[in-house]
Amino acid sequence: MKAIPVCAAIIRKGDRILVAQRNHHDELGLKWEFPGGKLEPNETAEECMVRELFEEFGIQSKVKGFLGENTHDYGNKKVCLKAYFVEHLSGEFQIRVHQSVKWVHYSELKDLDWAPADIKLVELLLDHYGYRS
Ligand SMILES: Nc1nc2c([nH]c(=O)n2[C@@H]2O[C@H](COP(=O)(O)OP(=O)(O)OP(=O)(O)O)[C@@H](O)[C@H]2O)c(=O)[nH]1
């Protein structure tokens, strides 16, 4: 099974990261994730991130770097989740798609009920910032 490429945004404010809860109507409803979505044909990861963050929150943003990726097999599909560091440039966050969003301190990230593909990315993120609980 070929993995579906999905881009996920790490948006930081001080010691907090923006996390989003999937809508209860959607697959993996109420699980926490990094905002983002599937890469469209002929789109770069940077374009995908900027598009998804505008669709999901109505904000303008810019990709600053790449954290890493994790491929996860959900049984019915396989996703390759690629996490990018993204800077919020302008616009108030409007919650257009998700159930809710919140800014979570590094020390609390591991306590969330994450979408399974995200767990390895959360570990990578904590390593990246040198955070040890
Ligand atoms: N955006 C996002 N998707 C994730 C994460 N972790 C994870 O397993 N996924 C999975 O990756 C896929 C992305 O789908 P999505 O529904 O968010 O993206 P989309 O808006 O482009 O899709 P759609 O237009 O088909 O609904 C889903 O299967 C979702 O469950 C994550 O951290 N962020």
The ipTM is: 0.94
In the three-class reduction of DSSP (H, G, I as helix; E, B as strand; rest coil), residue 27 is classed as: coil
Q: Is 105 a pocket residue for ligand 1 (Cβ < 6 Å)?
A: no
Cα first-last separation, the chain: 36
Predicted local distance difference test score (pLDDT) of residue 21:
98
38 lines ligand 1 (CB under 6 A): yes
Query: Does residue 133 fall inside a structural domain?
Result: no
Q: What is the pLDDT of residue 133?
A: 60
Total domains in the fold of the chain:
1
84 lines ligand 1 (CB under 6 A): no
Separation of alpha carbons 25 and 23, rounded Å: 5
Cα 43 to ligand 1 centroid, rounded to whole Å? 16
Output the CA angle 76-81-87, nearest 5 degrees: 145
Query: Is residue 87 situated within a structural domain?
Result: yes
Is residue 32 in a domain?
yes
Give the structural domain span for 113: 4-128
CATH number at residue 15: 3.90.79.10
pLDDT mean for each 10 residues of the chain (133 residues): 97 97 97 98 98 98 98 98 98 98 97 98 96 72
Provide the pLDDT for residue 131: 85
Question: How confident is the model at residue 20, as a pLDDT?
Answer: 98
